[in-house]
Amino acid sequence: PPEPEWLWTWGYHHLFHGELTRADLDAVSRTRPIVVWHRSFHEVRLNTAALEALGLLGDDTRAALASTPQADVEAGRFYENGLAAVAPRLFPRLLAPRRYFGALAEARDVLHAGGITTVGDGAFGSLDLSRETLALRLSAWNRADTPFRTVLLADARALAARSSHEAVVELVRGFAARDTGRLRFRDDAVKLFADGAFFSQLMQLGPPGYLDGHEGEWLMEPAALRAAVRAYWRAGLQIHVHANGDAGVDAALDALEAAQRETPRDDHRFALHHFGYARPDQVERIARLGAVVSANPFYVWALADLYAREGLGPERAAELVRLGSLERAGVSVSLHSDFTMAPAQPLRLAQVAVTRRTAEGRVAGADEALSLEGAMRAITIGGARLLRMEDEIGSIAPGKRADFTVLAEDPYEVDPERLADIPIWGTVFEGVAHPLVAGDGDEHSAKCSAAPLGAAGYE
């Protein structure tokens, strides 16, 4: 008989919804495979039917996964590197052509609605480089009428696990040959990963750690991260590192400092991504070492209230995403959505960064707010600098590409609490108008103003 249709769901969070076990999912169905994707996207929980369909209950597979503590076959829970271990079995089902191409077509419209003209993808090649390249070329994202470009950074952690850092350097240096009209493959940058997901409370924290005693996870142990940074640094590549907790930030900065001491480089733009929780001394160190930060301010809105009660406590929860400190220290900052960790809406990200307003309506750590000017720069020229594209995009200037987001109100004139509510008329991408509303000669359009938004992206 044909296999039952799989049931996929995303958004579950143990701190919001309580624990969810394999037995709970089996109670829903023992015949239909069920996949519950954690809100962090770094974890799945499977029922028995899904485990069987993926071939994860065999003795050989269990033995192979025994060395991966983040893969718990009995519980049906696979997280961080455990998810990576089963991804080759799981993702082909998730990314079946009908589902995959339909999802990218919908995401194309979501990104356009957010006024985005450049997308950054910091996990390219994490599954299968050749298949990912072909799939993107065949997708809606590569159509001539798509109103944004996608800039792809190689997931060096995943690629090196299947080869070596030296092989990844050679591979990346040939990336530009893959470029198309809408897809740009960076041949001068790679992405690495330090600690676990912020939404999972699996980021690595320094003392006092988590208040309930649980521990974070490493995606790359500090020694492995240091070796990887050294290899790509010596090759002259820009290095981006996913770093969520203060111990994760320490690991990334330690690797940067060691590489810089051994092989000094100017304008390296070593980039810390996400930047969920960091200490004040780390901000000074980031500035001194010349690093840049691509932050997700939405953590403040979504998690500051919850983490004040669970895991971190009020003091650290009020200091999530220290953007104000970075701005005062002169660090180059950009904002990203890590969609779907946050809405693909740069103005919403800017609003949270400026107001520090949480989901429960309070202000968390007002001293860590970005200025309005800083926030607007962080979703325009800051994002361009992160991608080393400031000579092409990120501001309106002669000689740059004509990429604009057309707004119905001036962000500098509205209440910062209303930034996300500013209507977006549409975008201009490389000189071609892509309206979201009809009537580009009406009164509404005449009152619109242009800004080069586009710093939100995938990670």
pLDDT tens per residue across span 280-318: 999 999 999 999 999 999 999 999 999 999 999 999 999
Average pLDDT over residues 236-240: 99
255 and 339 co-located in one domain:
yes
Measured CA to CA, the distance from residue 311 to residue 213 in angstroms comes to 8
CATH code of residue 138: 3.20.20.140
343 and 417 co-located in one domain:
no
Q: Report if residue 2 sits inside a domain.
A: no
222 and 239 co-located in one domain:
yes
Q: Report if residue 395 sits inside a domain.
A: no
The answer to whether 168 touches 154, Cβ cutoff 8 Å, is yes
What integer pLDDT is reported at residue 450 of this predicted model? 54
Choose one of 63, 94, 125: the last residue of a domain. 94
The pLDDT-based confidence of 104 (bands split at 50, 70, 90) is very high
Average pLDDT over residues 208-224: 97
Average pLDDT over residues 321-343: 97
155 and 191 co-located in one domain:
yes
Residues 6+ apart with CB under 8 A from 435: 425, 426
154 and 195 co-located in one domain:
yes
Counting the structural domains of the chain, the total is 3
DSSP 18-85: ----HHHHHHH-SSS-EEEEETTSSEEEE-HHHHHHTT-SSHHHHHHHTT-TTEETTTTEEETHHHHH
Query: CA dist 35 to 5, 73, 124, 387, Å?
Result: 11, 14, 23, 34
* Strands annotated E in 142-301: 149-155, 183-193, 238-243, 271-274, 292-295
The pLDDT-based confidence of 451 (bands split at 50, 70, 90) is low
Cross-strand pairs, 77: 45, 72
| Beta strand pairing call for 183-193 and 238-243 | parallel
Choose one of 44, 68, 94: the last residue of a domain. 94
What integer pLDDT is reported at residue 309 of this predicted model? 97
Does the pLDDT of residue 141 top 70, yes or no?
yes
Q: Which helix (H) or strand (E) holds 427?
A: strand 424-429
The pLDDT-based confidence of 443 (bands split at 50, 70, 90) is very low
Measured CA to CA, the distance from residue 400 to residue 316 in angstroms comes to 41
Choose one of 94, 122, 154: the last residue of a domain. 94
Average pLDDT over residues 371-397: 97
223 and 278 co-located in one domain:
yes
Does the pLDDT of residue 102 top 70, yes or no?
yes
Report the share of the chain in percent with pLDDT over 70. Answer: 95
Q: Report if residue 31 sits inside a domain.
A: yes
The pLDDT-based confidence of 262 (bands split at 50, 70, 90) is very high
Tokens read off for 4 = 């039952």
What integer pLDDT is reported at residue 289 of this predicted model? 98
Average pLDDT over residues 106-116: 97
Q: Report if residue 396 sits inside a domain.
A: no
124 and 67 co-located in one domain:
no
What integer pLDDT is reported at residue 234 of this predicted model? 98
Q: Report if residue 1 sits inside a domain.
A: no
Residue 397 is classified by DSSP as -
The pLDDT-based confidence of 181 (bands split at 50, 70, 90) is confident
88 and 196 co-located in one domain:
no
Residues 6+ apart with CB under 8 A from 284: 329
Does the pLDDT of residue 457 top 50, yes or no?
no
Instruction: Report which of 422, 408, 423, 199 is spatially closest to residue 311, judged by C-alpha positions.
Output: 199
Tokens read off for 353 = 């960064």
What integer pLDDT is reported at residue 3 of this predicted model? 82
Query: CA dist 264 to 192, 253, 267, 289, Å?
Result: 20, 15, 10, 11
The pLDDT-based confidence of 452 (bands split at 50, 70, 90) is low
114 and 21 co-located in one domain:
no
Measured CA to CA, the distance from residue 368 to residue 325 in angstroms comes to 6
Instruction: Report which of 76, 66, 72 is spatially closest to residue 37, judged by C-alpha positions.
Output: 76
CATH code of residue 19: 3.10.310.70
126 and 85 co-located in one domain:
no
Q: Report if residue 314 sits inside a domain.
A: yes
Average pLDDT over residues 421-425: 97
Place of tokens 């509404």: 444
62 and 129 co-located in one domain:
no
- Please classify residue 403 by burial: count the beta carbons closer than 10 Å to its beta carbon, then call 0-12 exposed, 13-18 middle and 19+ buried: buried
What integer pLDDT is reported at residue 449 of this predicted model? 55
The pLDDT-based confidence of 456 (bands split at 50, 70, 90) is very low
166 and 36 co-located in one domain:
no
Average pLDDT, the chain: 94
The answer to whether 238 touches 267, Cβ cutoff 8 Å, is no
The answer to whether 170 touches 156, Cβ cutoff 8 Å, is no
The answer to whether 207 touches 240, Cβ cutoff 8 Å, is no
> Domain limits at 408?
404-451
Does the pLDDT of residue 400 top 90, yes or no?
yes
Residues 6+ apart with CB under 8 A from 371: 327, 354
Q: Report if residue 418 sits inside a domain.
A: yes
Q: Which helix (H) or strand (E) holds 252?
A: helix 246-262
Measured CA to CA, the distance from residue 119 to residue 456 in angstroms comes to 6
Q: Report if residue 123 sits inside a domain.
A: yes
